[in-house]
Amino acid sequence: MAVTEVRREERQPAEAPKRSTLVSWLTTTDHKRIGILYIGTAFFFFLLGGLLAEMIRTQLFEPDNTLFNFHRYNQLFTIHAITMIFLFVMPVTVGFANFIVVLQLGAPDMAFPRVNAFSYWLFPLGGILIWLGFLSPNGAAPGGWTLYAPLNQTLTPGSTPGWGTDVLIMGLLILGLSSLLGAINFLVTIFKLRAPGMTMFRLPIFVWTFLTTSMLLLLAMPAFTAGLAALFIDRNFGGHFFDPAAGGNAILWQHIFWFFGHPEVYILILPSMGIVSEVIPVFSRKPLFGYRAFVYATLAIGMLGFGVWAHHMFTTGAVYAPFFAFLTGAIAVPTGVKFFNWIATMWRGRIKFSTAMLFAIGFLMVFLIGGIDGVFVASPAIDYHLQDTYWIVSHLHYVLFGGSVFGIFAGFYYWWPKITGRFLSEKLGVVHFIFMLVGTNLAFFPMHISGLHGMPRRIAQYRELASIDPSIVMLNRLSTIGAYILGVGILIFIANALLSFRKPRTAAADAWGEGNSLEWATSSPPPPWNFDELPPIRSERPVFDARHSRVQPTPVSAEGGES
Amino acid sequence: MSAQEVAATPASAPRVRRDPMPPALLGVILFVASECVFFAALFGAYFTVRAQATQWPPAGIEESLKVALPAVSTSMLLLSSVTMQYAVWAIRRGDRATMMRFLKLTLLLGLLFLGGQMYDYSTLGFSISDTVFGTTFFTMTGFHGAHVAGGLMFIYLVLARGWAGQLTRENHTSLEACAVYWHFVDIVWIGLFTTLYILK
C-alpha cells in the first residue's frame, strides 16, 4: 500500500532546547497548541459573557427591577453581545479550525505559523481592552453591539461619552486584524498545503465551510475596520462622518456596519454547519448525502451573504426593500439544501446517539426554528412590526446559541478525544445536552411571544407594558428560568471536561471507529509533526477507504503524542 | 540569453521549477484584496456624504486645495510603480545589480511622495474637524499615507534582504509580494487624487 512515509528521526531536532512548559506554551507556533489556546481563552470569555447574560435575565425577572440602573443595563447587553460574538463564537471556531483543518488537509502546520501565533495573541489583547471599559468612570460601552451612530458619537445629547466606547472600538480593531490575518492564513493553508491527492473536491466539509468563512472575513472585516476608524475619528478628532448636523450621514454607519454585520452572521454559523456535517455522517455510518450540493450551497451562502445587509435597515426607509427582501428569501434556499443533506444522511443510517450526535440533531431542530424566524422578518411588512422587539432577540439567539453554540458543543464532544486523547463522559454529556435543549427553548421561545406582544429589546424595565399586557411578566420569567437552566448546563459541561482529565488516555487514532477525514489517521493527541504516515487520498473519505481497503493501513503508534 | 543571466545560473545548477504562486505571495494578494474593501468603504462614505451635500466642496475648500504640487507628487508615485516593476523584471532575469538600483529609486520616489504630501497638508486651510469635506479628505489621504509609509518599510526590508544577498532569480517572493502591494497603493492614490483634487 502506498504510504507517504516521513522518517521520524528527520523530524526530531538534533537537540531540542530545554524550556519550561509555560514558556513553551507562550511561545508556541504549533497549530494544535494555538488551537487549544484559542479554545481555552474563548471559553473563558464565554463564561464572562454568560455571566452578563444571567445578570440581564435576572434584571428582567421583575418588570421594574432596580438591580441595575438603566445605564449599567445598557453596558451589560452591549458587552454581552460583543463578548459572545467576537470573543467566544469566532475565536472558538478559529481554535477548532486551527487544530482540525490542518490535520484534515494532511498538512504539518499552517502556512504562516508565526502569523498564526500573532493572530492568537491579538485576541486576548483585544478582549482585555474591551472589558477594561468597565473601569471607565462612565462604565463600559453602552451603545449596543451595533454601535449605531449618532448614538455612539459624543456630539449629540444622550450619546455615549467616556472611554468605554473608545476602548471597545480599539479592541474591535485589534480583533479585526487578528481575524483578517487568521483568514489569510487559513486560505493560503487550504489552497497551498493540501496533502498529495487532496483535491478541492476531496476536502472535508469542515474545511469547505471554514474556507468560505475565511473568504467572508477577508472581504467583510475591512469594511468594519473602515467604519470603526471613521467612528473613532468622529468621537475623538471632531470628524463628521455620521453627524447629520455637519453634513454627515447617520444611515451611512448602518450601511457600513451591516455590510460587515450580515456576512458576520454567516461567519458565526458556517463553521458550526461544518462541524455538524462532520459529526452526522460518522454517527450515521453513511457518507454525507450530496457532498457537491453541500459545497455549492456553502459557497452560495457566502456569496449571497454580501447582498442582504440592508434587510437590517428596512425601517429606515432608506433602502430598496423588495431587492433585499428577495435576496434574503433566496439565501434561505442553500440553507434548506443543507437541511436536506443532513436529514438524507441520517435517513436509513445506523444512527448512534452519542452526545456529539445529540448536539448535531439538536442543532438541526433549534437552528431550523431560528432560520424560519429569520425568513419571517425578511418580509418588510412583518419586519416593520417586529423590528427591535424580542422577536429579533429570539431569532438571533436561536441561530447563534441554538445554531452556532450547539454546533460548537457537538465539536467539543466529537474532537475532545482527538485533542486530549481522552473521552468526555457520555452520561454527563446526555445530561448536559438535555439541560441545553430545555434551557434554550425555555429561554428563547417565550421571547417570540413577548416580541409579538410588542416588548422592545434593550430595555431594563417594562412596567407600563406589563400593566397593559400582564402575560409579558410570565413570559419574561420563563426566559429567566431558561437562562438559569442553561447556566447549570454549562457548569455540567465544565465538570465533564475537568473530570475527563482524571481518566487515562484511551482514545485510539480513529477514536469513534467510524472516522472519515484525515484527523483520524494520526494518533490522539497527534504528535507535534502531525503524521508519521498518510493513507492514500482517493476520495473525500480517506480514513474510511483505508479502513475498508484489502491491505490494512500501517497502524499509527498510540503514544506518538508528546504534547 | 544575456551574459549576466548565464552567470547567475550555471549550467550545473539543478533547474528548480518555481511555484508561480508561493504561499507568501498568495497571502499578500489576499491581504490586498481585503485592503480594496477597506478603501472601497471609505470611498463609499465619501460619495454618500457628497451626494447629499447642497454645496460641494464646502465654501473655502476650493481656494485652499491647490492641484499643482499634488500633481507632481502623484507623478512621483506613478513613476515609482514603474521603477518597482523594472526591479521585478530585473530579478526575474537574475540581474541583481539593476534590481537593487531600481528598488532604491522606488524607495526615494516613495519618500518624495510622502514628503510632498506632508508639505501639502501644511498648506491646507482646513482641518479634519471643520467640515465633512475635511473629515473625508484627511481620513482618506491619511490612511493612504499610512499605507505608503508601510509600503516604504516593506521596500526597505526587501532592500535589506537584497544587501544580504538573499534575492535570486529563483527566490525573490518578497519582492514580487512587495510589488503587488506597492502597485495597489499606487492605484488607490490614482482614485484618491482624481476624486479629491480633480473632481472636487
How far apart (Å, rounded) are the C-alpha atoms in residues A84 and A105?
29
Q: In angstroms, what CA-CA distances link B141 with A238, A408, A436, B136, B190?
A: 17, 43, 51, 8, 11
Distance of CA A39 to the CA centre of its chain: 11
User: What was the pLDDT predicted at A560?
Assistant: 40
Residue B26 is assigned to a structural domain of this protein = no
How far apart (Å, rounded) are the C-alpha atoms in residues A178 and A267?
14
B105 CA to chain A: closest CA distance, Å?
A: 30
Residue A557 is assigned to a structural domain of this protein = no
Structural domain count, chain A: 1
How far apart (Å, rounded) are the C-alpha atoms in residues A316 and A172?
26
Q: Does B85 touch chain A (CB under 8 A)?
A: no
Contact B42 A230 (CB under 8 A): yes
How far apart (Å, rounded) are the C-alpha atoms in residues A107 and B74?
45
User: A363-385: b or e for each residue (b if 16 or more CB lie within 10 Å)?
Assistant: bbebbbbbbebbbebbbbeebee
Residue A556 is assigned to a structural domain of this protein = no
CATH number at residue B180: 1.20.120.80
User: What was the pLDDT predicted at A11?
Assistant: 54
B136 CA to chain A: closest CA distance, Å?
A: 7
Select from A115, A237, A247 the Cβ nearest to the Cβ of B128: A237
User: What was the pLDDT predicted at A160?
Assistant: 81
C-alpha R_g of chain A: 24
Structure confidence by residue, pLDDT tens digits, A379-395 = 999 999 999 999 999 99
Residue A28 is assigned to a structural domain of this protein = no
Residue B168 is assigned to a structural domain of this protein = yes
Q: Does A256 touch chain B (CB under 8 A)?
A: yes
Residue B60 is assigned to a structural domain of this protein = yes
Residue A153 is assigned to a structural domain of this protein = yes
Cβ contacts of A508 within 8 Å, gap of 6 or more: A524, A558
How far apart (Å, rounded) are the C-alpha atoms in residues A135 and A112?
36
CATH number at residue A475: 1.20.210.10
How far apart (Å, rounded) are the C-alpha atoms in residues A272 and A116?
21
Residue B30 is assigned to a structural domain of this protein = no
Between vectors from CA A144 to CA A140 and to CA A147, what angle results, nearest 5°?
95
- Which residues share a beta bridge with A389? A456
Q: Does B180 touch chain A (CB under 8 A)?
A: no
Contact B129 A252 (CB under 8 A): no
Q: Which three cell numbers stand for residue A417?
A: 478525544
Structure confidence by residue, pLDDT tens digits, A256-267 = 999 999 999 999
Question: Residue A309's CB: how many other CB atoms inside 10 A?
Answer: 25
A557 CA to chain B: closest CA distance, Å?
A: 32
Structural domain count, chain B: 1
pLDDT tier for residue B164 given thresholds of 50, 70 and 90: very high
Residue B45 is assigned to a structural domain of this protein = no
Structure confidence by residue, pLDDT tens digits, A287-299 = 999 999 999 999 9
Which residue range is the domain that position B178 belongs to? 56-198
How far apart (Å, rounded) are the C-alpha atoms in residues A150 and A167?
18
User: What was the pLDDT predicted at B65?
Assistant: 86
Which residue range is the domain that position A218 belongs to? 34-548
Select from B30, B39, B40 the Cβ nearest to the Cβ of A187: B30
Contact B53 A226 (CB under 8 A): no
Residue A381 is assigned to a structural domain of this protein = yes
User: What was the pLDDT predicted at A152?
Assistant: 84
Residue A464 is assigned to a structural domain of this protein = yes
Residue B31 is assigned to a structural domain of this protein = no
Contact A241 B128 (CB under 8 A): no
Average pLDDT, chain A: 92
User: Per-residue pLDDT averaged across A99-110, rounded?
Assistant: 96
Contact B38 A226 (CB under 8 A): yes
Tell me whether residue B153 is exposed, middle or buried, using C-beta atoms within 10 angstroms of its C-beta: 0 to 12, 13 to 18, 19 or more.
exposed
User: Per-residue pLDDT averaged across A327-353, rounded?
Assistant: 95
Residue A2 is assigned to a structural domain of this protein = no
User: What was the pLDDT predicted at B58?
Assistant: 87
Select from B31, B38, B45 the Cβ nearest to the Cβ of A241: B45
Residue B126 is assigned to a structural domain of this protein = yes
Q: Does B131 touch chain A (CB under 8 A)?
A: yes
Helix axes A90-105, A205-236, angle to 10 degrees: 140
Name residues 85-124 of chain A within 8 A of B (Cβ): 111-112, 115
* Residues of A identified as active-site: 80, 109, 145, 178-179, 262, 264, 266, 277, 311-312, 335, 338, 457
Residue A7 is assigned to a structural domain of this protein = no
Long-range contacts of A488-493 (CB under 8 A, 24+ apart): A488/A435, A488/A439, A489/A432, A489/A435, A489/A436, A489/A439, A490/A46, A490/A47, A490/A50, A492/A428, A492/A431, A492/A432, A492/A435, A493/A409, A493/A412, A493/A432
Are A3 and A542 contacting, i.e. CB atoms less than 8 angstroms apart? Answer: no
Select from B37, B39, B49 the Cβ nearest to the Cβ of A219: B37
Backbone φ and ψ for A4, nearest 5 degrees, come out as: -75, 100
Are A58 and A68 contacting, i.e. CB atoms less than 8 angstroms apart? Answer: no
Q: Cell 474563548: give the residue.
A: A42
- Residue A223 predicted with pLDDT over 90: yes
How far apart (Å, rounded) are the C-alpha atoms in residues A235 and B141?
19
